[in-house]
């Protein structure tokens, strides 16, 4: 199909890999491909290096870390998914136990560490999960301003480490500076400075105020001194008598009074009158470092006897031990930048200079120099990615491991101990498992469609451990901030309690080494835009003027206009071109991937754009996909980066294409066929290539779910009319033509999973069998001889999928059964039916059955052994075929290189050792056929080292592939021999997959891309729908009132452009913030011979009469959302009851009832419907005896209502009795004469 693009500006750089944030972070954490000795001290390596060496309490032994290595995963990613296991590899560390006598070295198993799939996800217990990155407050120093109730401006600063004690500085109303340590204890700031090394008053004054010495000779000097503050006492030289005490502010009066005494005396005064420091020193009762240390110790540890040594150790632990106080490189980097310091980034503990500079900055702020920080600015927030989140979890476990190792060193006889005795690896394994299973940030992947998967991996959450909680997060944190530009999407965020706390990464944004978000800009030099790209963080960007991507440029890259529209901090200004520093790389750098897929986004109100980008993630992949007529140009990129489509790994020619596999050269691509996703939607891949096609690396060779020809296709293009239709599209309801159902336009496939386990019980094993008590042959017709349903069977609610019987307990037997058992002994009849049945509301076809069972230790039957040998031979055969293909490919490439060359040593037959190609002979085509039998590892070419190196490379490449295949083959064979891994107590597990086709039905939710959503209210016959002048009936009728108040005019522009595109048989690309203009849309409509305003006279399908007014008609891309009526509809007749109150449970999942609440009771009371009300509150709810009697009456066909006491009344009575109140129920005596 021909394409027309309305894009005005091409992107300055290509869109980066959209899941890079996940992949690079985890690769940095594992460093799996880095040689052991070249690993950087980050991630796992960093954790090991900070934890080890672990010294024994007596200092005689120490455990040292040498290196770690990651083994091969036990199961492939696909197998882990199928078997419900974790895709992980074993982590082993080489540990040395060093003592004075000897060194013992050993490889110790630490844990199984989950591996990331190519898509940036994890497979944990068979489920695909995503670890969401966390947006949290960055470590470093920050300064804030508040207004005291009395109107005074108060300033405070915070020094926040990555982990460790916080230090806060604040002034009181008397301008005394205090330090608060770890949010607990408050000290005078100077006392803390003394403890850190500024011991005397003079040291402190020199640092903050500066001291100058002045000799008073005559009267003129005295005048200069007025207003200065004394830095030390003025004493009489002879008598040491204090004339003026230190910190006195000199005035005319006190100077003139003592003029005679002061002559010829040297006095020390402050260069700068920093009143706050002086006031603080006046309040400080400590005089030197020792006193300050003891004072701090007393306050931090009240009740402990203070000693200088203990105080020093406490301070050392709090701020100077890297294990307890760590600013991290990012903290140090941000402190350096804020305070204009130049401390190396490796210095990650606290130092005196940092505290001094922080206090100076705070004092300047108080004196009006500098600005307080905005805590919602992205310069003060950073991203913790997967690697870092897991690292923090493992680090905590490592500290525990260190403690247990030291305890064991104390207890064990160290002569006979090996390193593995001291290391409790369970601690690490538990921490890793706990993180992936229970962390708030490790989430079950949203797999509704490829876009949902991609967005989930690019999500940033402010919640989670160490983050905010939604109850206490205010409006400011959630709001859009100017620093989000190009880093965080201002549109895509959930509606509801998480709004603004969960956001999405913008299209071009990336995370730098410090975890700060950066966005790219083109450098502008002297008013000329260059192609030099620079990534800026939010705080750096604040210094520059940045032009928009759509600013007009001439051929040389200079700005056309005299004044250019640009951004500076949170202002939009017009400035001369020479003042501009940078320019945006693309108009879509502002928004996220989801918002990028909405054409004419710039014409939609923000609230509706938010709904539009969120609802695209809920679109169900359809059976027959179709790309939009109006695209934005992002569709292909999303399909590729989400991992939905299959890409060619290497160039080559397609050799074989089947529905479930493609072979290109020596590469085999196995396609996923009808696999269930996390959201019960269907994942199915279809080949796009034919045998003989030439493909290049990175080409799309197979489509996935919700993609068509390698482009994201979430919905269908349908003909829409905006008009009211007999009230059926009132309040956003949607009227749909029957054609959409007939032609399966919106039909989707859903696959549900049902599983059952046979366990070992106290009374004996449960059994999966066809022999179920009390079940007729009709119900068993689709079960095989083992009681498991056959593939292809059509099932509906209540049908048996897997037959299972469980031993009965004694209490479950009737007296008659007990008597019979006493007479005839044990009998097979003492089991009850515990089969897996289809739940209500499910109907479909069984598409797959998986059986997992343990290998029985007892001797197995001949059939079982034969079956096993058959399976093993089949696997070997498959792998041998693949290895043969790789060898053929290898020999072909070698043949090209070797033809016409001479060998410097003979090539021998691998098996017999016979010379096949002698040395010094020129190799001919005939000789090449002998290559298969040769030992190729020893090829030596005469006088051509380069070629020899090339041949070695080729051999290495193919040998690696062969080794990989041999490893896979051995693993699969080992799997068959060992049987399945099942949890303790489980003997057998059966999983059944039921697929159902969901056609469009009344109650389903449809939506466009502009937040225009609605529920189907009526399906109308094709002939009754309004039709165009040429007789074409429309597919959907939408209410025109859905447009003006919602202000999502984008849908109208899409309608008109879509109509033109459909008539012209083209697709149009209209990117966000740079798409088709109104004039261009009119031009296309004119070309297609359609009315320019898109309005046309429609006729009523019922009467054939034209409608009074013209109607806007066109093609809109409509999606069917996952909120399907079949999953929501629910009815109950008899079902489970709550144990305590005996009222029916609530909700579809529990097969619950409809709650008849307080307000509903009032409504019936208002109508005086006493009997209806009585039966609702008793026999239909929690009157246990009454409901049994009613059931019997219904069965017998009687009509008797005898309500009793509701159970909730009995519960109330018991509650009151629990409060020692004696409650009795008494019947009211009938009054006499009535």
Q: What is the pLDDT, as a whole number, of residue 787?
A: 92
**Mean pLDDT in the chain?**
89
pLDDT, position 856: 66
pLDDT at 282: 86
In terms of average pLDDT, the best of 335-339, 721-725, 935-939 is: 721-725
Give the pLDDT mean for 698-715.
96
Q: What is the arithmetic mean of pLDDT over 1117-1131?
A: 94
Q: Which CATH architecture has domain 1130-1218?
A: Alpha-Beta Complex (3.90)
The burial of 570, by beta-carbon neighbours within 10 Å (0-12 exposed, 13-18 middle, 19 or more buried), is given as exposed
Instruction: Give, to the nearest 10 degrees, the angle between helix 386-411 and helix 426-438.
Output: 150
Q: Where are the alpha helices (DSSP H) in 1065-1183?
A: 1078-1087, 1125-1128, 1158-1167, 1170-1177
Comparing 180-194, 297-311, 975-989, 1037-1051, the range with the smallest average pLDDT is 975-989
User: Domain 601-645+704-747+999-1120 has what CATH class?
Assistant: mainly beta
| Banded model confidence at residue 95, pLDDT cuts 50, 70, 90 | very high
Architecture of the structural domain at 20-136+384-457: Alpha-Beta Complex (3.90)
More confident residue, 666 or 1114: 1114
Q: Which residues contact 274 (CB under 8 A, 6 or more apart)?
A: 208, 209, 363
Model pLDDT, residue 257: 66
pLDDT tens-digit map of 317-327: 889 888 889 99
Tell me if 605 sits within 8 A of 30, measured CB to CB.
Answer: no
- Rounded to whole angstroms, how far apart are CA atoms 277 and 202? 12
* CA dist 1211 → 105, 1174, 1205, 1214 (Å): 66, 19, 11, 5
Distance (Å, whole) CA 1114 – CA 1134: 49
Same fold yes or no, 601-645+704-747+999-1120 and 1130-1218 = no
Q: Which of 734-738, 1005-1009, 1032-1036, 1190-1194 has the lowest mean pLDDT?
A: 1190-1194
Q: Say what the pLDDT of residue 202 is.
A: 84
Highest mean pLDDT among 217-231, 874-888, 988-1002, 1181-1195: 988-1002
Instruction: Copy the structure tokens of residue 672.
Output: 């996923």
- Tokens describing residue 381: 């927030």
- How many CB atoms lie under 10 A from the CB of residue 126? 15
- Of the pLDDT bands very low, low, confident and very high (cuts 50, 70, 90), residue 1234 is very low
Rounded to whole angstroms, the Cα distance separating 1055 from 1053 reads 5
Q: Which pLDDT value is given to residue 910? A: 66
Report long-range pairs for 34-39 (Cβ below 8 Å, ≥24 apart): 36/67, 36/68, 36/69, 37/67, 39/67
Region of poorest pLDDT, from 307-311, 414-418, 1073-1077 = 414-418
Answer yes or no: is pLDDT of 914 > 90. Answer: no
pLDDT of 1233 strictly over 70: no
Domain covering 210-273: architecture? Alpha-Beta Complex (3.90)
Q: Which of 566, 528, 1000 is nearest to 744 (CA)?
A: 1000
Residues 6+ apart with CB under 8 A from 549: 9, 12, 583, 584, 585, 586, 587, 589, 1074
Q: CA 767, 771, 772, 778: dihedral to nearest 10 degrees? A: 140
Report percent pLDDT > 90 for the chain.
Answer: 62
Q: Which of 98-107, 129-138, 806-815 has the highest mean pLDDT?
A: 129-138
- What does the pLDDT read at residue 763? 86
Q: What angle do CA 414, 419, 425 make, to 5 degrees?
A: 125
Question: How high is the pLDDT of residue 493?
Answer: 96
Place of tokens 């890793």: 432
What residue ranges do the domains of the chain occupy? 20-136+384-457, 210-273, 469-499+509-596, 601-645+704-747+999-1120, 751-854, 865-978, 1130-1218
In CATH, what class is 469-499+509-596?
Answer: mainly beta
- The model's pTM is 0.89
CATH topology classification for 751-854: OB fold (Dihydrolipoamide Acetyltransferase, E2P) (2.40.50)
Confidence band for 286, pLDDT divided at 50, 70 and 90:
confident
């Amino acid at each position: 199909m021909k394409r027309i693009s309305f894009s005005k500006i091409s992107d300055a750089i290509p869109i980066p890999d959209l899941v890079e944030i996940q992949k690079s972070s985890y690769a940095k954490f594992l460093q799996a491909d880095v040689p052991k000795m070249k690993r950087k001290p980050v991630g796992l390596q960093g954790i090991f290096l900070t934890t080890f060496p672990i010294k024994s309490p007596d200092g005689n032994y120490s455990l040292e870390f040498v290196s770690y290595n990651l083994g091969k995963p036990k199961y492939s990613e696909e197998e882990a998914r199928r078997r419900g296991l974790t895709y992980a590899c074993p982590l082993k560390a080489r540990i040395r136990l060093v003592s004075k006598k000897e060194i013992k070295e050993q490889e110790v198993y630490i844990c199984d560490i989950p591996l990331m799939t190519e898509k940036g996800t994890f497979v944990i217990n068979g489920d695909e999960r995503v670890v969401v990155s966390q947006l949290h407050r960055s470590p470093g120093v920050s300064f804030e301003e508040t207004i005291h109730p009395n109107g005074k401006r108060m300033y405070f600063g915070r020094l926040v480490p990555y982990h460790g004690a916080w230090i806060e500085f604040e002034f009181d109303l008397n301008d005394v500076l205090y330090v608060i340590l770890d949010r607990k204890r408050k000290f005078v700031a100077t006392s803390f400075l003394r403890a850190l090394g500024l011991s005397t008053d003079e040291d402190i004054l020199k640092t903050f105020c500066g001291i100058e010495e002045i000799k008073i000779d005559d009267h003129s000097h005295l005048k200069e001194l007025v207003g200065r503050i004394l830095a030390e006492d003025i004493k009489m030289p002879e008598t040491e008598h204090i004339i003026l005490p230190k910190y006195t502010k000199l005035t005319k009066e006190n100077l003139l009074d003592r003029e005679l005494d002061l002559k010829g005396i040297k006095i020390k005064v402050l260069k700068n009158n920093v009143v706050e420091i002086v006031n603080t020193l006046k309040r400080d009762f400590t005089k030197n470092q020792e006193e300050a240390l003891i004072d701090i110790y007393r306050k931090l540890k009240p009740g402990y006897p203070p000693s200088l040594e203990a105080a020093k150790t406490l301070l050392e632990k709090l701020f100077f031990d890297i294990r307890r106080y760590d600013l991290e490189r990012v903290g140090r980097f941000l402190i350096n930048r804020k305070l204009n310091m130049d401390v190396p980034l490796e210095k990650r503990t606290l130092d005196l200079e940092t505290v001094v500079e922080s206090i100076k900055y705070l004092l300047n702020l108080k004196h009006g120099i500098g600005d307080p920080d905005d805590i919602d600015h992205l310069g003060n927030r950073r991203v913790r990615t997967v690697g870092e989140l897991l690292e923090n979890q493992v680090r905590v476990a490592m500290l525990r491991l260190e403690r247990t190792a030291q305890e064991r060193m104390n207890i064990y006889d160290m002569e006979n101990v090996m390193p593995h005795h001291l290391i409790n690896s369970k601690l690490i394994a538990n921490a890793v498992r706990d993180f992936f299973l229970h962390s708030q940030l490790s989430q079950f992947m949203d797999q509704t469609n490829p876009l949902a998967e991609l967005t989930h991996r690019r999500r940033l959450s402010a919640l989670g451990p160490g983050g905010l909680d939604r109850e206490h997060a205010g409006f400011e944190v959630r709001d859009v901030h100017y620093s989000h530009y190009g880093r965080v999407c201002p549109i895509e965020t959930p509606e509801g309690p998480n709004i603004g706390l969960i956001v999405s990464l913008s299209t071009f944004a990336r995370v730098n080494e410090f975890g700060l978000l950066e966005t790219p800009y083109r450098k502008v030099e002297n008013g000329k835009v260059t192609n030099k790209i620079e990534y800026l963080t939010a705080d750096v960007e604040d210094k520059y003027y940045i032009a928009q991507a759509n600013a007009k440029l001439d051929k040389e890259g200079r700005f056309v206009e005299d004044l250019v529209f640009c951004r500076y901090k949170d202002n939009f200004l017009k400035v001369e071109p020479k003042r501009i520093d940078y320019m945006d790389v693309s108009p879509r750098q502002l928004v996220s991937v989801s918002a990028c897929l909405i054409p004419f986004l710039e014409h939609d109100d923000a609230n509706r754009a938010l709904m539009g980008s969120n609802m695209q993630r809920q679109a169900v992949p359809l059976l027959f996909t179709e790309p939009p007529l109006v695209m934005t140009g992002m569709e292909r990129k999303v399909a590729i980066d989400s991992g939905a489509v299959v890409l060619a790994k290497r160039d080559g020619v397609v050799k074989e294409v089947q529905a479930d596999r493609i072979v290109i050269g020596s590469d085999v691509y196995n396609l996923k066929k009808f696999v269930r996703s996390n959201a019960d939607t269907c994942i199915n891949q279809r080949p796009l290539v034919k045998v003989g096609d030439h493909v290049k690396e990175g080409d799309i060779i197979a489509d996935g779910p919700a993609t068509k020809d390698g482009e994201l296709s979430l919905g269908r293009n349908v003909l829409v009319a905006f008009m009211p239709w007999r009230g059926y599209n009132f309040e956003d309801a949607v009227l749909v033509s029957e054609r959409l159902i007939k032609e399966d336009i919106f039909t989707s496939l859903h696959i549900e999973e049902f599983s059952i386990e046979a366990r070992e019980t106290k009374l004996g094993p449960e059994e999966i069998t066809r022999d179920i008590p009390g079940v007729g042959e009709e119900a068993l017709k689709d079960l095989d001889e083992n009681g498991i349903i056959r593939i292809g069977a059509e099932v509906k609610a209540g049908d048996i999928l897997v037959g299972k019987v469980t031993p009965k307990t004694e209490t479950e037997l009737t007296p008659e059964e007990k008597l019979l058992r006493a007479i005839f002994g044990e009998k097979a009849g003492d089991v009850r039916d515990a089969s897996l049945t289809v739940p209500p509301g499910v109907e479909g076809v069984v598409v797959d059955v998986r059986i997992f069972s343990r290998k029985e230790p007892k001797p197995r039957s001949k059939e079982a052994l034969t079956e096993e040998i058959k399976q093993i031979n089949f696997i070997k055969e498959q792998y041998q075929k693949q290895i043969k293909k790789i060898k053929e490919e290898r020999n072909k490439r070698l043949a090209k290189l070797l033809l016409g060359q001479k060998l410097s040593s003979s090539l021998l037959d691998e098996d017999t050792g016979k010379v096949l190609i002698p040395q010094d002979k020129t190799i001919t085509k005939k000789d090449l056929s002998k290559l298969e039998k040769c030992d190729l590892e020893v090829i030596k070419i005469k006088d051509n080292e380069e070629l020899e190196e090339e041949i070695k490379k080729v051999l290495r490449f193919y040998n690696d592939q062969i080794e990989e295949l041999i490893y896979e083959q051995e693993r699969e064979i080992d799997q068959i021999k060992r049987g399945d891994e099942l949890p303790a107590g489980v003997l057998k597990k059966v999983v059944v997959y039921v697929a159902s086709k969901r056609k469009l039905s009344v109650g389903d939710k449809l939506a466009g891309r502009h937040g225009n959503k609605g529920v189907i209210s009526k399906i109308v016959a094709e002939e009754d729908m309004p039709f165009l002048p040429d007789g074409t009936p429309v597919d959907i009728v939408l209410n025109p009132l859905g447009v003006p108040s919602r202000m999502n005019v984008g849908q109208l522009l899409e309608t008109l452009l879509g109509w033109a595109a459909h008539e012209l048989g083209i697709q149009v690309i209209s990117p966000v913030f740079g798409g088709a203009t109104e004039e261009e849309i009119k031009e296309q409509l004119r070309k297609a011979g359609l009315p320019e305003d898109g309005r046309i006279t429609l006729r009523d399908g019922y009467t054939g009469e034209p409608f009074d007014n013209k109607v806007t008609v066109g093609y809109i891309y409509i999606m069917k959302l996952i909120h399907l009526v079949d999953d929501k509809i629910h009815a109950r007749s008899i079902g489970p009851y709550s144990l305590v109150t005996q009222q029916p449970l609530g909700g579809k999942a529990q097969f619950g009832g409809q709650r008849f609440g307080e307000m509903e009771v009032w409504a019936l009371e208002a109508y005086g419907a006493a009997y209806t009300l009585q039966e609702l509150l008793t026999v239909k709810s929690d009157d246990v005896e009454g409901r049994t009697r009613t059931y019997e009456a219904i069965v017998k066909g009687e009509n008797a209502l005898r309500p009793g006491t509701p159970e909730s009344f009995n519960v109330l009575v018991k509650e009151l009795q629990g409060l020692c109140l004696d409650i009795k129920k008494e019947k009211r005596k009938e009054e006499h004469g009535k």
